[in-house]
Structure 1
Amino acid sequence: MEKGVTKLLIENLSKSFGESQVLNQLSLHVKEAEFVSILGPSGSGKSTLFQLIGGLYSPDSGEIRLDGKRINGKTGSISYTPQSPSLLPWRTVLGNILLGGELVGETDEAAALDMINKAGLKGYENAYPYELSGGMKQRVAFIRSLLSPQSLICLDEPFSALDEFTRLEMQNWLLSVWEEDKRAILLVTHNIEEALYLSDRIIVLSEKPTQVKKEFIVPFPRPRQAALLLSEEFLHWKKKIYNELRVIM
């Protein structure tokens, strides 16, 4: 993969539901091997944006391009991890992880078992979702996304249901795996600290009808360690982004 090449390009995207306009001429991009987070007030259309990228809806106007190809209204182009793990209860951990590959005929059990081991889930290959903790379920969902063949991963507030310590543990695990894979990631979150810790860039959305209000390039080098969260520079940037969001809300 060639870092710097545009992976996802969204141009002048608009979407309304009845009389309510959700997105208005919204434009953004994600580069190859880039981790981008989206922040915005509740109801600003973040989930709608993901549904449009995933092809569940078609935009009223505008373009969505992945690797240069138009994907308006086309499903199956991205790998998606929702807020809840959404594991199939009748499938084992391994079965859930292999699902994405099965749907396109590209399963790799050896890679799945290796990733299960790296995620600290060795011995749980044949366990069912009801036997797992919240953090373990989320790891399974992430592995499923990472092993899916799509070149863009969209994460929709995947840590929101976890407690603070489990969330940080999961963030560190995600970063360690992503450093090896370096697939393009687009993350929706309400957590400024999370966006700063994980991302290369942060996009701040306006209220509806939503447009891109501000963009921040995150200055912290990689790899990142948890000690960064307590540094003065990190707190400075957190305040800066908070103040930008406060004006919107």
Structure 2
Amino acid sequence: MANKLEIQRLTHTFSGQNPVHVLNDLSLNVAEGEFVTLLGPSGSGKSTIFNLIGGLFEPDGGSISIEGQSVNGKRGHISYLPQQDSLLPWRTILDNVVLVQEITGKVDKTAAREWLERAGLSGYESSYPDVLSGGMRQRVAFIRSLLSPQALMLLDEPFGALDELTRLDMQDWLLKIWEMDRRSVLFITHSIEEALYMSDRILILSDKPACVLKEIEVPFARPRHHDITLDATFNQLKHEIYQMLKVGNRDG
């Protein structure tokens, strides 16, 4: 299976009066149609990895390739969904969804309406974001990301600000919608359970300077249901990952 994203020996230090060595010889990949999660201690450099992939700044060393092309320091090659939905309050739901398409010059409002209907948001096209719940707003933001032309999606804790029940509902909803599209995804979460439930593979990061401590193949077939969280294998993996994170954080 071809890789959408290939990172080789990435190194980065934030300079200044007190330099911070954030990444050290980090390598990872995301295959076409694969859902990969980064799991690591707070402050281990997960968001820095996203910023480097997105071209917000260049790494000190190493290479980042998307679909075989080097993107070090280059923007516009990814679709990004942050923790906050970042919807523009003065634009309708439909206009928020097609915003990225407007930037690229290829607006398809028919497709946008179809995806909003699949997201359970039919009838809200002319409404404004302030009438939507947190979960509904995140659905709009995810559909906006899906409609961007980039083949790689970076999801940075998109459910972190939601209450637990809404979060569980959004996990199921996102997986259902993702199954229709199968975009390559690199996902950040602090939840071991969420990582196991959502992912094909999990990459355990050390504390900074971050490197990949362990790669875990998630053994559960798709589509998934939250009943698997009661499975003995699920809970054994959850315990093993917790122990790895404890060791990685202590050794860092």
Fold shared by both chains (TM-score > 0.5): yes
Whole-angstrom distance in 2 between the partners of 1:34 and 1:23: 23
Counterpart in the other structure of 1:69: 69
Any unmatched runs of 5+ in structure 2? none
User: How far did 1:167 drift?
Assistant: 0.7
Q: Partner amino acid for 2:114?
A: D
Whole-angstrom distance in 2 between the partners of 1:61 and 1:106: 35
3-state SS of the aligned residue for 2:47? helix
- Note the 1:15-54 alignment, pairs <5 A: 15-18=12-15, 19-54=19-54
TM-score between both structures, scaled by the size of structure 2: 0.96
Counterpart in the other structure of 1:149: 149
Q: Deviations over 1:37-81 (max 9, x none)?
A: 000001100001000000101111110000000001111100000
User: How far did 1:178 drift?
Assistant: 0.9
Any unmatched runs of 5+ in structure 1? none
Q: Partner amino acid for 1:102?
A: E
Judge which range, 32-41 or 12-21, deviates more.
Answer: 12-21
Aligned residues: 246
- Note the 1:87-102 alignment, pairs <5 A: 87-102=87-102
Q: Partner amino acid for 1:57?
A: F
Counterpart in the other structure of 2:122: 122
Whole-angstrom distance in 2 between the partners of 1:112 and 1:96: 10
TM-score between both structures, scaled by the size of structure 1: 0.97
Identity %: 58
Counterpart in the other structure of 2:247: 247
Q: Partner amino acid for 1:197?
A: Y
Whole-angstrom distance in 2 between the partners of 1:208 and 1:242: 17
Whole-angstrom distance in 2 between the partners of 1:93 and 1:57: 31
- Note the 1:216-231 alignment, pairs <5 A: 216-231=216-231
Whole-angstrom distance in 2 between the partners of 1:197 and 1:107: 34
Q: Deviations over 1:148-205 (max 9, x none)?
A: 1000000000001111111111111111111111110000110011110010000011
3-state SS of the aligned residue for 2:37? strand
RMSD between aligned alpha carbons? Answer: 0.8
3-state SS of the aligned residue for 1:196? helix
